[in-house]
Amino acid sequence: MKISVFGLGYVGIISAACLAEQGYKVLGIEVNKDKIEQVNNGISPIVEPYVGEIVKKVTLNKNLIATDNIKETILGTDISLICVGTPS
């Protein structure tokens, strides 16, 4: 199963990394180009125990890829998770 995760902040990157660690192919959609580059280089955009190690592992095995291509990602995945900030 291929999964897309919208937003690679605290909720999104943890969700994406853990799903990828379980063997799912995950595409993370992010608008921030710096975060996309970080994730694709195996660097977690947040600091949480173990998350950095997991992100590094799942990007090396290509189970997690970050992108800003929304249309291609939606069409190429089976399910999407929305993990973006809620306006207050």
Label residue 19 by pLDDT band (50, 70, 90): very high
User: In this predicted structure, what is the pLDDT of residue 69?
Assistant: 98
Q: Token pair 């590094």 is at which residue?
A: 56
Tokens of 28: 């993370």
Contact 29, 4 (CB under 8 A): yes
Q: What is the pLDDT of residues 43-85, one digit of tens each?
A: 999 999 999 999 999 999 999 999 999 999 999 999 999 999 8
Share in percent of the chain as helix, strand, coil (round to 5): 40, 20, 40
User: In this predicted structure, what is the pLDDT of residue 27?
Assistant: 99
Q: 78: burial class by Cβ within 10 Å (0-12, 13-18, 19+)?
A: exposed
Write down the pTM of the prediction.
0.93
Three-state SS at 58: helix
Tokens of 77: 């995945």
Domains and CATH numbers, the chain: 2-82 (3.40.50.720)
Beta bridge partners of 2: 25
Whether the predicted pLDDT of 86 surpasses 90: no
